[in-house]
Structure 1
Amino acid sequence: MPGFVLLVRPRGDGDAGIGIGYTVSKKVGNAVTRNRMKRRLRALARAALPQAGIAGADHVLIGRAGGNDIAFSDLGEHLDSALQRAAKKLAR
């Protein structure tokens, strides 16, 4: 997805909780830019993961360069799409 990468991995420990992690490398920009990207990723996760997240799995959002330039609503749509694709792959 443009703006971020989503990684999902089932824990297999029997806990139905949803884990979440964020990372933004220095390649994305300076500290101000990285922190803004992390705030946006946290807000996206807070809005989308309770409904669309995969129970019993850890989710990692990795910020990419240019993610701050994309409209927040578009990032939300990208996250929903990525979560649907991840759920489909894990269902196999």
Structure 2
Amino acid sequence: MDRLRQRADFLAVANGARVNSPAFVLQSHPRDDSGPIRIGFTVTKKNGNAPERNRIRRRLRELVKRLDPVSMQPHHDYVLVGRRDALSRPFATMLDDLRIAFTKPARHMAKGPAKGRGPRTDRTRSSPAPAASRKPD
């Protein structure tokens, strides 16, 4: 199992299926190549300061280590987005949540974006055009 590290890979997975849990969101995206399963971890700044975010990320990595890789679909990329509840939720409960989450995309979610939503656009914002300056006559 490899790690996702490039931003473009994270954005591609963000367009795929997702399963919500109190401690995390599991995003998945099928790939066309025959490479290994790849997984990425992310925690946003709204979840706390750096030590808290790192603790959430460590707990998520440990969950994946303890999970049986057979439950993951081959030729898929996964991203675990940590939530604040990952700090206080019991580890065994989170492991059960992750096992359940890995079974849901295979059964309940189709390829592509969720029903009722259009494709996501690039999240980068373009800077506004500078105002035209007038030269005095």
Is 1:5–2:25 an aligned residue pair?
yes
Is 1:30–2:49 an aligned residue pair?
yes
The residue aligned with 2:75 is 56
Q: Hey, what's the Cα distance between the residues in 2 that align with 1:66 and 1:29? A: 11
The residue aligned with 2:64 is 45
Shift of 1:14: 2.5
Is 1:18–2:37 an aligned residue pair?
yes
Q: Deviations over 1:18-65 (max 9, x none)?
A: 100000001100111000000000011112151211110001000012
The residue aligned with 2:99 is 80
Structure number with higher relative contact order (C-alpha < 8 Å, ≥ 6 residues apart): 1
Cα distance, 1:85–1:13 mapped onto 2, change above 3 Å: same
RMSD over equivalenced CA pairs, Å: 1.6
Q: Report the identity percentage.
A: 40
TM-score in terms of structure 2 length: 0.62
Q: Deviations over 1:56-86 (max 9, x none)?
A: 0001000012211000000000000000101
Shift of 1:91: 7.3
Q: Hey, what's the Cα distance between the residues in 1 that align with 2:38 and 2:92? A: 23
Structure with greater Cα Rg: 2
The residue aligned with 1:69 is 88
Cα distance, 1:91–1:66 mapped onto 2, change above 3 Å: closer
Q: Hey, what's the Cα distance between the residues in 1 that align with 2:94 and 2:73? A: 19
How many equivalent pairs are there? 91
TM-score in terms of structure 1 length: 0.91
Unaligned runs of 5+ in 2: 1-20, 112-137
SS in 1 for 2:29: strand
Shift of 1:88: 1.2
SS in 1 for 2:33: coil
